[in-house]
Chain A
Amino acid sequence: MRTMKEPRGYAATPRTRPVRDPAPSKWGYRWQRWMLTPGVRTGLRLGVPTLVIGLIGTAWFSNDANLAVVTDRYDQIKAAIQHRPEFMVTGLAITGADEELASQVAELVSVEFPVSSFDLELEAMRAKVAALDAVSDVYVRVGDAGALEIGITPRQPVALWRTAEGLRMLDDNGVFSGDVAGRAERRDLPLIAGDGAKEHMTEALALFRTAAPIATRVRGLVRIGNRRWDMVLDRGQRIQLPGEGAEAALARVIALEDTQDLLARDVILVDMRNENRPTVRLQQDAVAATRNAVTTGASN
């Protein structure tokens, strides 16, 4: 007779009650499942630390003194970097402009050197210079050796325009390129006047070219009624041109001048407005003289 021993590792006295194995409550179960959801886990791992750091940061920065410390320090570092010699601009180099324009531009830009290139507002500077009448195009850049380079393409004046305010220079697009005190200053430029003259620059320039043989006598072109041109010569002579085909009409006049010295005669007006009926008006004295000559038989 022997008593059977229970296998090793088990309690000697049999347990009569079931193993304690409590079921989770419904809400406990749900809570655990919720905490195992990937989104929630990620949220707890990343979201909560981010939130805490954010809150601490906000609380700290909400104190003005703390904020000031940070911004001051930031400004200091920023200035220290910006004022390094590599970033300094020490001089102004203006190219492509005559002296007068260059001094005007330098005055306009008005930069105190040396200055950090971070403090220069090149775009605004360029806009300011480009707004000058005499400047057609301009580039502004910080070039080699810390020079502020301003490259100017000046406008080329091709004509003078007489207005009530005075004489102005125009380029070939009819844009102002500067004022002139008197006609004598720019004898090389032809003169135009009248309403709408500016808008018809190309036609005016073509007429001046046609009139090249009598260039010495030409005073200028006058736009009449913003419709057609009158060419004014010295000695009070005037060539009235039609609105359409003015160039051809003028060419006819030049041809007449070539062959018959029309303009050298005592003519005050050549009216070419009607191409079928060119008209020439004599001076008052010439009319009288002609009459006298007819009556006295002095002609021939």
Chain B
Amino acid sequence: MRDLYETQRAMRNVRKAAMQRGVIAILDIGTSKIACLVLRFDGPGRAAQTDGVGALAGQSQFRVIGAATTRSRGVRFGEIDAMQETERAIRTAVQAAQKMAEVRVDHVIACFSGARPRSYGLDGAVDVETGIVTEADIGRVLASCETPDFGHDRDVLHAQPVNFALDHRSGMADPRGQGGQRLATDLHLMTVDATAIRNIFFCIKRCDLELAGLASSAYVAGVSSLVEDEQELGAACIDLGGGTTGISVFMKKHMIYSDAVRMGGEHVSSDISMGLQVPMQVAERIKTFYGGVVATGMDDREMIEIGGDTGDWERDRRTVSRAELIGIMRPRIEEILEEVRARLDAAGFEYLPSQQIVLTGGGSQIPGLDGLAAKILGQQVRLGRPLRVQGLPQAATGPAFSGAVGCALFAANPQDEWWDFDIPAETYPARSLKRAVKWFKDNW
């Protein structure tokens, strides 16, 4: 716990340094693609300052100057499976983005979707020493949260205070400066497999880059594709990725729950590949061009040439009706959505005031998905695209890039994390000295 705190603080310092230099790269390490965006920060002073919410919800202080995508290699379920291959893929993406940006980037904020995220809700409370809440009090109350035993092979990825309560008043975003006796907080802690994080560290280090931050893909996808009132009132973002489907639940502008289903678009492709006896690439192509989830009478008559790779062009010309394709895809997508439903139920999603569900990620482009999702997940379902950010190429504005864009927003406006506050110094020596003085006073 302690060294993680140090690591995250070090990353935060690197991020500050990168902001100072003005150029930072965003790396979305996914199962099917690796995307790299190069951001240029103009600094807070140079963006047009307006009262309240500025242009693009205050996100106009950075600009995307380079973007590149490459086919992902060596990543499975959002986790690095083959280091060398992944390293090469990262190099490809970073090089292309650098070339477009014509600038060298040294600092990278990475997001990834896998590594079995798990959410914990923690709470802590302390007495306010001076009667006025200070930054130190917030550090203390965060430290007072009782950390659950999540196992030695897991690391904390996010630890965000989502709520503060001062005496009987709850739902405060920023209690600093307010008077009160007892300060309580709710902390959302998200842990992932430590090995996955370590692998990402190594991979990025071997590309001569420095890691300036790590984020969960589910979280940043929610940041980019949920609109403000959805984040405020409660919504779930379902990021249908290649190898995993990330779930993040937002409430009062904070992520309060996150999970991932280890199934995604690649599983649909592999179903098609197995069902139709075609190579994976062909299956992917057929899914992209003709895929769907709702079959109609028309689809029985629509024939898709799936070809054969045997070279015998005269005889090996197989075709398949679109209804058959949908018949293969639908059960898998239903399975994924059922699984998501189960996770949301486990999280108590139905108790939120608003139960908006936003589908994003590359998988959300399947035609008719919103209808199917509405049947399984509830009526309030919409398809989400990432927020428009300045300078992003048209090719990178699709829902498949909500993770990358969200990571860029995360880089620009990072959420307060537990490690952003000074740990209340295990001022053990000072405290014991104070105790000794008190003992003397009492007894002499």
Contacts and interface: CB of A to CB of B under 8 A. Distances in A.
Interface of A: 1-4, 6-7, 10, 13-19, 21-24, 26, 29-30, 32-33, 36-38
A21 B304 CA distance: 28
B95 A4 contact: no
Contact of B88 (A1, A23, A36, A38): A23
Contacts of A3: 303-305, 319
B98 A7 contact: no
B70 A14 contact: no
A18 B104 contact: no
Sorted from nearest, which 3 A-B pairs have the closest CB atoms? Answer: A23-B88, A36-B104, A23-B92
B281 A29 contact: no
Q: How large is the interface on B (under 10, 10 to 19, 20 to 34, 35 or more residues)?
A: 20 to 34
B281 A15 contact: yes
Interface string B65-92: 0000011000000000000000011011
9 contacts: A3-B319, A4-B303, A14-B306, A15-B281, A18-B71, A23-B92, A29-B94, A29-B207, A32-B99
Nearest to B300: A1
B15 to A, nearest CB: 20
A13 B307 contact: yes
B302 A4 contact: yes
Contacts of B88: 23
A6 B289 contact: yes
B229 interface: no
Contacts of B420: none
Contacts of A6: 289
A37 B286 CA distance: 43
A144 B98 CA distance: 70
Contacts of B309: 16
A15 B285 contact: yes
Contacts of A36: 98, 102-104
Contact of A32 (B98, B286, B304, B319): B98
B91 A23 contact: yes
Contacts of A33: 95, 98, 104, 208
B290 interface: yes
Residue of B88, B91, B207 with highest tally of chain A CB at under 10 A: B91
Given A18-B281, A36-B98, A29 B71 contact: no
Contacts of B179: none
Nearest to A7: B289
Contacts of B140: none
Nearest to A12: B305
A37 B106 CA distance: 10
Contacts of B286: 14
A21 B98 contact: no
B290 A4 contact: yes
Interface string B184-200: 00000000000000000
Nearest to A40: B104
A1 B91 CA distance: 47
Contact of B104 (A17, A26, A38): A38
Contact of B70 (A4, A15, A21): A21
B322 interface: yes
Given A13-B307, A24-B92, A32-B95, A4 B322 contact: yes
Interface string B276-308: 000101100110011000000000011111110
Given A32-B95, A32-B98, A14 B285 contact: yes
A30 B209 CA distance: 11
B91 A24 contact: yes
B71 A16 contact: no
A21 B92 contact: yes
Contact of A17 (B281, B289, B303): B281
A2 B301 contact: yes
A2 to B, nearest CB: 6
A19 to B, nearest CB: 7
Contacts of B279: 16
Among A14, A16, A26, A33, which residue has the most Cβ atoms of chain B within 10 A? A14
B303 A21 contact: no
A36 B285 CA distance: 36
Contact of B91 (A4, A16, A19, A26): A26
B303 A30 contact: no
A30 B98 contact: no
Contacts of B94: 29
Given A4-B290, A14-B307, A33-B95, 9 more contacts: A2-B302, A4-B303, A10-B289, A16-B309, A18-B71, A18-B281, A23-B91, A29-B91, A38-B103
A16 B92 contact: no
A30 B281 contact: no
A26 B88 CA distance: 8
B66 to A, nearest CB: 11
Contacts of A16: 279, 281-282, 309
B285 A29 contact: no
Nearest to B299: A4
Contacts of A17: 281
B310 to A, nearest CB: 11
Nearest to A13: B307
B104 A21 contact: no
Contact of A30 (B99, B208, B289): B208
Nearest to B89: A23
Contacts of A18: 71, 281
A40 to B, nearest CB: 9
A21 B281 contact: no
Contacts of B103: 36, 38
Contacts of B305: 3-4
Contacts of A1: 301, 303
Contacts of A24: 91-92, 95
A185 B289 CA distance: 129
Residue among B99, B290, B302, B305 with the most chain A CB within 10 A?
A: B305
A79 B286 CA distance: 88
A3 B104 CA distance: 49
B289 A29 contact: no
A4 B303 CA distance: 6
A23 B94 CA distance: 10
Nearest to A6: B289
A186 B98 CA distance: 98
A74 B159 CA distance: 76
Contacts of A37: 104
Nearest to A36: B104
Contacts of B322: 4
Contacts of B304: 3-4
A24 B70 CA distance: 12
A13 B302 CA distance: 18
Contacts of B92: 21-24
Nearest to A35: B104
